[in-house]
Amino acid sequence: MEISANPFAVLTLISAPAVLTNASCVLLFGTGNRYGRAIDRVHELSAMIETANGLMLTELHLRIRQLEASQQRTSLIVRALTCFYTAVAGFVSSTLISLVGAVMVSARVEHGVTLCFVIAMLTGTLGVGSLVVGAMMLVRETRFSFRILKEESKFLTDRARQRLLQNPELLPGP
């Protein structure tokens, strides 16, 4: 389609990668927050383990498993962040190269237009692929995090039940 026939063609070429760039940036922001919380959790668990004075052996084992899991979670988040940064770079490149190609078409410069199209498609495809892979990593990290939370909840519930059995006066009366 020629630019002169449809002035919205340039807008279409540029807006799709621009919208995807925005989506990637939103994911980057949220994932950056997750990363900060994951780092805080690693520090918190490390401190608990380091000063394990009052911890029962079972709780110490739980905290060690949680620390190992938190390190794996953090690694997944870092890899997802890398994917989202790659996606932003791909979409920005695709937008810029599409704009250069559109200017070349409107200036009736035929040499290099096909190359611009191919490079824009490749960088855009790289961006989409990176976005999908990063999102899949966050899904994995979320499931992983939920599994850790369930393990801790079970441990705390079991411990509370054990305390109630050892101290019947804590049970609610009839």
Per-residue confidence in pLDDT tens, the chain, 174 aa = 455 566 566 566 667 777 888 888 888 899 999 999 999 999 998 988 888 777 788 888 888 899 999 999 999 999 999 999 999 999 889 888 888 888 888 788 888 888 988 998 899 899 999 999 999 999 999 998 999 999 999 988 998 888 888 877 766 666
What's the predicted TM-score (pTM) here? 0.78
- Residue keyed to tokens 């390190």: 71
Closest among 104, 81, 72, 98 to 24, alpha carbons compared: 81
What SS3 state is found at 79?
helix
- HSE, CB side, 13 Å, CA atoms: give it for residue 11: 4
Q: What is the DSSP letter of 172?
A: P
- How many whole angstroms separate alpha carbon 168 and alpha carbon 60? 26
- How many whole angstroms separate alpha carbon 21 and alpha carbon 133? 15
Closest among 62, 78, 69 to 42, alpha carbons compared: 69
